[in-house]
Structure 1
Amino acid sequence: MLLISWMNLSSSHGMNGVKQRKTSWQDGVLGTNCPIPPGGQWTYHMQVKNQIGTFSYFASLGMHRAVGAFGGFNIQARPVIFVPYLKLVAEFTILVSDWWKSDHKTLRQRLDSGKTLPKPAGLLINGSPCATSFTGQAGQRYLFRVSNVALTTSINFRI
């Protein structure tokens, strides 16, 4: 059983790609769930049987995603399930998002006036506008779990 709690967001919520077994709730699209009231919380209760991999979650309303209301989570294989990979030394979850110099309220006003969002000022990797690096040792195996949680930006990622 996977439990994911959202707290203190005045927003709807969503999870990308997770099949929510044993629950009638959807993934947070407006109209399928009520927004979380300020100071409130929402907890998903679901089975994630036979689902492994990298997933992300995010706030769906109020431009909260633009200010960092997102994250990543990984579902590991159960020990009895064969995974065709050699043993890893470490894994890294990488969240790449777009970044504007304007705050989310200004961006929302722009959208409400019928204009599109401007080109982002840059990208954030795990919330940081500075260069991000990962250290490893030659000959070892690492898993990079990369999720694009940006609002408008298509991201090319390479090592």
Structure 2
Amino acid sequence: MMSRVKNGMIAGVAATAVVSVLEAVNMFALKMFPAFPLIVAKMFGMTGNVAAGWALHIFMGIVILGTAFGLIYDRLPTKVPMAKGITFAVGAWVVLMIYVIMIVPGQRILPSGGFDIIAWMLATHAVYGAVLGSTFNRLLQRDKHHIHPAGAAPAH
């Protein structure tokens, strides 16, 4: 069980890094969509605090989502690791949308006319899931190849 959590968190690091690069390019170069770290900060009552938004984004991507993915990996539909990751991440996006749109609508967390940010968040969640699923599967395969039968010694 612990290796699943550890592997989930390691896969979360890889997936969060990829999505963070995409978000940084959006924030500092393209400026096409409202900055997701600012939205995360606002969700937690720290409006305008970019550093807190980044920290929370990274924490959730690695610790919360990475751990959860490691724990439920085998229960996710499909046998394709990348599809498992995308399914999981899109599910996380749905939970996020329910929270933002239905639970705290009075706080106006998303900017008005925010379909573009909703689509951007869906796309980045899908990228996160693809990297999460494929990385987690590679870690599982690596662990399976390093297991020796009980009482057996390695050949070399």
Which of the five TM-score ranges fits, normalised by the shorter chain? under 0.3
TM-score w.r.t. length of structure 2? 0.26
TM-score w.r.t. length of structure 1? 0.26
**Structure with greater helix percent:** 2
Relative contact order higher in (CA < 8 Å, ≥ 6 apart): 2
**Structure with greater strand percent:** 1
